[in-house]
Amino acid sequence: MILKEILNKYMSATSFSTVYKKLKPGIVAIVSRISQRPDFPDIIGTGFIAHEDGIIITNNHVIEAIKKLPRRKGAPDDEWPIRVMYLHDMPGRGVGQLFFDVEAIATLGREKPIEGYHYGSDVPDIGFIYVKVKGLPKLELESTFDLEEGDEIYTAGYPLGTKTLRAPGWIHQINPVLQKGIISAVQPFPCDKPHGLLINIMSQGGASGSPIFNPKTSKVAALLYGGIIDWKGIPIQKNIQLPYQNGTALTLAIPAYIVSEILEMSLKELSDKKTGTTIERDVSRHPTLEHLLKNLPVVINTPKEAMKDVEKVPATEIEFPQKS
């Protein structure tokens, strides 16, 4: 029995690592047009491709953050302060970066779009970004919920945004971060249609909007929307405390069946926030991803050779304290 469990665990891990290579192109980074450093754009959130016609799912609080970003001086009126960064594996050449222009952003306009939200927020933390590209590799959403407490899950995104990619001080990673965890709790309790999930995954700013995968189906099982943080205070003077965040390894997520239903609703009914009129997207004029890859210059990142052009230092260069 123990050997069988070990084999099942090994097979599950092996199969997902293979499947993940196919899923990874569906994960995108939401980046600011104005960045603090020129070497790499600032990542403000994660998203995933939910429809081949350029529909990206992320969190509502990411959409609200987009609205507060500064715009480029002299930018056209229809230019958003963000772009969507798509990473494309180019065997033998490295990883290519494509930046998709944003057509529109959207949030939920109803108080309770789905029946049954007796616990938690009335409006799930879900937002949409529409990009001017079609023919994208979409991720499949689970339409039902069949996970249990203790089941393994995976998530991939950009926790801490560009800081993770620039951890030693320079850009050293051009990839989303893959993590493995379990379902820690089903909210409000184990049932067929829970309103939320608690998972033991590290989540920091930038990971918002990450897809959570069910390794049994390779589909998106949930949408990550926030880590649980405990605020503490360090006394520095009488009646004055310096607040700080005490992060945890617990993260909240929205089950994919909710996201799937809202996505279907948005495909049928999309209204202009200013006029309230129903609109339909015209994607006929948008280029395909294949066309962009063939015709647009792609920023290519290739691995650096270790110690290249660096003066070699003797391995035994040791110093001892000087005797006085």
* In the predicted structure, residue 116 carries a pLDDT above the cut 60: no
Mind listing the pLDDT tens digit for each residue in 174-196? 889 999 999 999 998 899 999 89
Q: Quick one: pLDDT at residue 19?
A: 92
Cα(39)–Cα(42) distance, rounded to whole angstroms? 10
> Which of 9-13, 86-90, 297-301 shows the lowest per-residue confidence on average (mean pLDDT)?
9-13
Q: Report the distance separating Cα 166 and Cα 152, nearest Å.
A: 29
User: What is the rounded average pLDDT for all residues in the chain?
Assistant: 83
CB count within 10 Å of CB 121 equals 12
Q: How far apart are CA 151 and CA 145, in angstroms?
A: 12
pLDDT at 99 exceeding the cut of 90: yes
Percent of the chain with pLDDT over 70: 77
pLDDT at residue 37 greater than cutoff 70: yes
CA–CA gap between residue 145 and residue 255 (Å, rounded): 7
Q: Is the pLDDT of residue 117 over 50?
A: no
> What's the sign of the alpha-carbon dihedral 111, 112, 118, 120?
negative
Who wins on pLDDT, 118 or 207?
A: 207
CA distances from 64 to 45, 46, 212 (A): 11, 14, 22
Residue 156 confidence (pLDDT): 97
Q: Is pLDDT of 58 > 70?
A: yes
Task: Compare 37 and 182 and report the one with higher pLDDT.
Answer: 182
* Dist CA 265 CA 260 (whole Å): 9
How does pLDDT run across 229-287, given as a tens digit for each residue? 776 667 777 777 666 556 678 999 999 999 999 998 888 766 666 666 677 788 999 99
- Of 266 and 304, the structure prediction assigns the larger pLDDT to 266
Q: How many CB atoms lie within 10 A of CB 82?
A: 27
Confidence of residue 118 (pLDDT cuts 50, 70, 90): very low
What is the rounded CA–CA span in Å between residue 40 and residue 121?
35
Determine the average pLDDT of the residues in 297-302: 74
Question: What is the per-residue pLDDT for 90?
Answer: 82
Q: Quick one: average pLDDT of 50-78?
A: 92
The structure's pTM equals 0.82
pLDDT band of 14, cuts 50, 70, 90: low
What structural domains and CATH numbers belong to the chain? 2-300 (2.40.10.120)
> What tens digit of pLDDT does each residue of 163-177 get?
888 877 777 788 899
pLDDT digits over 195-226, tens only? 899 999 988 889 999 999 999 999 999 999 98
| pLDDT band per the 50, 70, 90 thresholds, residue 295 | confident
* DSSP labels, 164-215: HHTTTSS----SPEEEEEEEEEEESSS-SS-SEEEE-----TT-TT-EEEET
What are the backbone dihedrals phi and psi of residue 130, each rounded to the nearest 5 degrees, phi first? -110, 120
Give the model's pLDDT for residue 139.
98
Query: For 314-321, what is the mean pLDDT?
Result: 54
Please give the DSSP secondary-structure letter assigned to residue 262: H
